[in-house]
């Protein structure tokens, strides 16, 4: 896309991530329940730059959660604990129900100076760098939101170009979200029908 050509060919101004975010903090400490709760994403939910709900859990609906820690569409999520998981990044494209994340994930929310998809895609490009930023012993390595915000720099392209990119990219991510929903429905149908087929309740 044209924005990549500009990023490569021009010497762009860079700003700290902390200057471009309205929220840059870890998630909640959940009180897990088996049903009737708010969906909480954990680090297993972040793979291949996408969010999967298959490994998510539920937190007690009576647990008070601040509004700012409820995910917004196109928030960037950064795994922030543990060798092998730290640094993995995904974008929240879910919009049909409320979500939050646990305290091992950092929520990165764009402010009005940058568009959220452009911010996230730029962070995708820096994933290998972010993986190396953890501090601590091998099994307890952590990445603080402060360090992430201070040390990661984002190239700033013209805002009109960000908006142009946003329109193209949003269509793609809406398509991904719709396909994820269809896959979920197909898995649910499979889980209902397969035992009946195996037991002979349904004949082919």
Give the domains, in start order, of the chain with CATH numbers.
12-157 (3.90.220.20)
Burial 45-79 (b: 16+ CB within 10 A, else e): bbeeeebbeeebbbbeeebebeeeebbbebbbbbb
Q: Is the pLDDT of residue 137 over 90?
A: no
- The per-residue pLDDT for range 4-24, each reduced to its tens digit, is 555 555 678 999 999 999 999
pLDDT at site 198: 74
How confident is residue 44, by pLDDT bands cut at 50, 70 and 90? Answer: very high
pLDDT at site 21: 98
pLDDT at site 194: 73
Taking the complete model, does pTM exceed 0.85, yes or no?
Answer: no
| Side-chain-side CA neighbours of residue 3 (13 Å) | 21
pLDDT at site 22: 98
pLDDT at site 63: 87
Q: Is the pLDDT of residue 89 over 80?
A: yes
């Amino acid at each position: 896309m044209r924005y990549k050509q500009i990023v490569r060919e021009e010497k762009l101004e860079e700003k700290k991530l902390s200057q471009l975010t309205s929220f840059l903090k870890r998630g909640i400490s959940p009180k897990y329940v088996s049903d009737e709760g708010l969906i909480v994403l954990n680090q297993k939910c972040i793979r291949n730059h996408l969010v999967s709900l298959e490994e998510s859990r539920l937190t007690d609906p009576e647990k008070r959660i601040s509004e700012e820690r409820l995910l917004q569409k196109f928030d960037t999520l950064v795994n922030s604990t543990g060798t092998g998981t730290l640094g993995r990044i995904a974008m929240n494209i879910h919009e049909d129900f409320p979500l939050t994340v646990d305290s091992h994930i950092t929520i990165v929310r764009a402010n009005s100076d940058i568009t959220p998809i452009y911010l996230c895609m730029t962070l995708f490009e820096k994933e290998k760098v972010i993986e190396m930023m953890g501090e601590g012993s091998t099994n307890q390595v952590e990445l603080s939101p402060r360090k992430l915000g201070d040390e990661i720099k984002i190239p700033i392209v013209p805002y009109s170009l960000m908006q142009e990119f946003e329109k193209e990219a949003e269509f793609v991510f809406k398509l991904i979200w719709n396909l994820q929903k269809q896959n979920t429905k197909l898995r649910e149908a499979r889980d209902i029908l397969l035992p009946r087929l195996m037991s002979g309740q349904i004949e082919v």
